[in-house]
Structure 1
Amino acid sequence: MVKINSKTALIFSISFLFIIPFVLFIGGTMPYLIFYILIFLFIIPFLHNYIAIKGIRGSVEIPNGALYKGDRININYELKNRSPFSIAYLEIHSDIARKLAGKDTTKVIIPLEKKRRFFFNEEVVLSRRGYYEMEEIEIKIHDVFNFFTFTKNIKTNTSLLVYPETINLSTFEITANQQLGELQVRNSFYQDKNRISSLRDYREGDMVKSIHWKLTAKRDFPIVKEYENRVDTNVFIFLDNQDLYFENDVDRRMEDKIVDSALSVVNYCLKQNIFIALETQHKKRQIELSGQNTKDLKPFLELFARFKGNGALNTKSLLISKIERLRDGRAFIIITPHLDKDMGAIGIELKMKNSNPLFIVVTDKENNNGFIEPLIENRLKQEGIPLFILDFKSNVKDVLEVSHG
């Protein structure tokens, strides 16, 4: 793309308005000489810039491998001037650092001699998780008189997948009556009473049945038995990303908070060797993922890196179809930005089916995003259904480690 600078256009127009009448009506050597000089004065810089911009090549190099939010990386740029002309004034504009780290758009101004290369790099701290396609950088060339500006977009064909930062929970309560290690569960369904995993000091809320009486008698203080998980222990997590709830999500705040809370729970359960099944959607496509130990974490990280509030399918319909196929006893965690009557009814239905529902509701009060109906919140609490409320500014670890017993 070429742009004639406004001052150039004005000078060019005025000059030709004066000289053309002389050439047409008077003639003579001097008017034609001035006319030709004017033409060449503009044509030569134009042709110089045109050939130079055609000869510019560029590339961007970004580190490969697993990258996480908070990592520090170097972005390397290379430009080659393959044309036979030197470039007096070359501008390089790149939005890559702004996308990855929220920095100002990069702008570099240099001269570049013919058949030479130019290298530069910038260091950025990855400010957020996500999948980024670095489509192009913009190159601008000016002539020495600043008559013309030629612009060229160089496609980089570079992409970057940034995993979210994992928040490690020391405990997480699903329901409030019995413990599975540090994972609170409703009953002994999740424990294999024939296999003791460890012994620890008694804590308030532990059941009397779990006390190791012989060791307690020797130590003079209560010792509690912790049992290994049964092989069929499992938790289902549903991420509600229906698009209408995210229409006004400022800077994708609620998206990120849903990812932080979901990843912390998934990571915790995988460390406990709890089988996790997770379901969400991407536009009109349903996404399902499962795992049972820390080796299975990477696919979850990739899913969370790409997670967006763009689901086109109705959340209520998806959950109802899931409930119809659900077996009794499973912990059912719903992470949503919208707790209304319909969502509350689903929680109560899950409890009636002898499942263990739990809600994590994500909001952004500062921007008036997210919704919690107070009557539904109170009803869930009355039914003994755990409810965690996570505002964008809340600390995930502080909120999710709170006991509801």
Structure 2
Amino acid sequence: MRDKSFSIKPTGIKAIIAVSFLLILFFVALFTGGSLPYMILYIYGFSMLFSFLWAIISVNILYTSIKVDKQSVVVGDSIQISMDIENPSFLPIPYVAIGADLLSDMLAQKHISRHISLGPRHEVSFEDILQCGHYGFYDMDSITLRVEDAFGIFAVNKRLASHLILRVYPKWYNLNRLSLSSYQQMGNISGKHRIMEDFADIGGIRQYRDGDSIKRVHWKLSAKRDELLVKDFVFNSNTQVCVIIDTYKPDFESNTAELSERMAECAASILYYCLNSEMHTGLIYDEREHVMLWGNNLSTFTAFMDSIIMTKMQGERPLSDVLLKDMAAMPWGTAVLVLVPLLASDTLSAMVSLKDMGYEIRCVYFGDKHDNEQANALAYLKECGVQIMDFSTNENASSALMAI
């Protein structure tokens, strides 16, 4: 591990007492004379110096390592962090503290530390279990070594850079359904999901059910069998779907961690559903840099998840700008699911404009539905033909996007 910093500090009251005692011995020897006071002064002073030098040497020869049992996990999983420290010398080290800072912009700092004594050529290992409560790209920033001299007068601190990285992905759920229409032909693969019907390809015949379109009725076969029969068409997954996440910082007034967690879960669930159905699927957000990813199958799902965990909802570009700029380059009829925690006036205007242009806009809302201003915004979108959806989950690891 590479050195990051090195410092020497007195330990406080112990250092004051030790130095004061050294000064007393010095003045006693100076004013009384004689070999005995000077011998005591030399022995005590040499012991302090040796102890101090040994602490400096010890912190530089100690071997440390840190490991985790998994490199990537899902929110709610636990990881095991293992730290090892070894004294390769033939002299003991009376006091060693080893600590690791686990840093994440989504979490408060978590500090893991241990205090031990190391005998000659001795190695100690210890472990900690860490519960992963929020998604994110975690960086085990550094390992801190602290070695004190035998008298506890000085502490020598050394920070060692660590290159340990942990990816914590948001949970994703199996969507029960995702009702979309499609006007854009992007391939033609059969699927079990009612995304778009291909009326040129009949998949079977069944009895009429309430709500079936009159276009489905097979009139010749119905007359022959004297019962109303309808045609079941092959459903294909040939739509283009785009998920847009609002990461604009002012839209997150409070509960940023909770809102971002729910939005990340929703985005991951939609992406999994669409990629599993082999739809042409995209993800767009703007935070520090503009991100646009596209994929057609589950082999790209990990890349999408690696991108989602980089979101911290600290974007500086309004959602309306992202919508109007990026949608201009997409085919007419693209299904767009916009994940928002707040409906600002410019966001409303952008969504309605895109709806009027022929894009299928779905607003997945995560904000306060009881707020009067937000309730009016939701009502306005509904009047303009923009469907408002709610993301709900249950204990069976399934979820649904339901119109509200």
Quick one: which amino acid aligns to residue 365 of structure 2?
Answer: V
| CA shift for structure 1 position 197 | 5.5
Asked if 1:258 is matched to 2:263, the reply is: yes
**Inter-partner Cα distance in structure 2 for 1:302 and 1:247:** 26
| Shift in Å, 1:288 | 1.0
Amino acid at match of 2:402: V
Pick from 275, 278, 282: which aligns with 2:280? Answer: 275
Deviates more, 1:151-160 or 1:50-59: 151-160
CA distance in 2, matches of 1:103, 1:203: 59
* In the alignment, structure 1 residue 141 sits paired with structure 2 residue 147: yes
- In the superposition, relative to structure 1, how do residues 302 and 273 fare at CA in structure 2: closer, same or farther (>3 Å)? same
Deviation, structure 1 residue 287: 1.0
Does 2:241 correspond to 1:240?
no
Contact persistence 1:91–1:107 (CA under 8 A): yes
Judging changes above 3 Å, is the alpha-carbon distance between structure 1 residues 362 and 292 closer, same or farther for their aligned structure 2 residues? same
Instruction: Indicate the structure with greater helix content.
Output: 1
Give the match for residue 46 of structure 1.
52
Contact 1:389 1:399 in 2 (8 A): no
Residue type of the alignment partner of 1:315 = L
Q: Which runs of 5+ in 1 are unaligned?
A: 185-189
Give the corresponding residue for 1:127: 133
> 1:82-121 residue pairs with structure 2 within 5 A?
82-96=88-102, 105-121=111-127
Task: Give yes or no for contact 1:82–1:116 (8 Å, CA) kept in 2.
Answer: yes
How far off is 1:261 after superposition?
Answer: 1.0
Residue 71 of structure 1: which of 77, 83, 98 is its match?
A: 77
The residue that corresponds to 1:379 in the other structure is 380
Q: Which residue of 1 aligns with 2:326?
A: 322
Q: CA deviation at 1:25?
A: 4.5
The two structures have a TM-score, normalised by structure 2, of: 0.81
Over 3 Å counting, the alpha-carbon distance change for 1:125 and 1:10 in structure 2 is: closer
Kept in 2, the 8 Å contact 1:336–1:360? The answer is yes
1:158 aligns with 2:164: yes
Q: Secondary structure at the match of 2:336?
A: strand
Cα deviation, residue 262, structure 1: 0.9
Aligned to 2:37: 31
- What TM-score comes out, normalization by structure 1 length? 0.81
SS across alignment from 2:42:
helix
How far the C-alpha of 1:260 sits from its partner, in A, is: 0.8
Structure 1 residue 203: deviation in Å?
6.9
Report the secondary structure of 2:142's partner residue.
strand
Residue pair 1:216, 1:223 contacting (<8 A) in 2 also: no
User: Of the candidates 229, 236, 239, which is equivalent to residue 229 of structure 1?
Assistant: 236
Q: Which residue of 1 aligns with 2:21?
A: 15
Quote the Cα distance in structure 1 between the aligned partners of 2:31 and 2:326: 88
Q: Do the aligned partners of 1:139 and 1:152 also contact (CA within 8 Å) in 2?
A: yes
**CA–CA distance in 1 between the matches of 2:55 and 2:36?**
29
Shift of 1:241: 0.8
Instruction: Give me the CA root mean square deviation.
Output: 3.7
Instruction: Measure, in 1, the Cα distance between the counterparts of 2:237 and 2:131.
Output: 42
Residues 217 and 228 of structure 2 are in contact (CA less than 8 Å); yes or no, is this contact kept in structure 1?
no
Kindly state the Cα deviation for residue 167 of structure 1 after the two structures are TM-superposed: 0.9
CA distance in 2, matches of 1:33, 1:117: 38
Residues 18 and 260 (structure 1), Cα distance of their counterparts in 2 relative to 1, 3 Å cut: same
Q: 1:23: Cα distance to partner?
A: 4.1
In 1, Cα distance between equivalents of 2:254 and 2:208 = 48
The match for 1:311 is 315
2-structure distance, mates of 1:203, 1:269:
28
In 1: Cα distance, 2:118 partner to 2:204 partner: 69
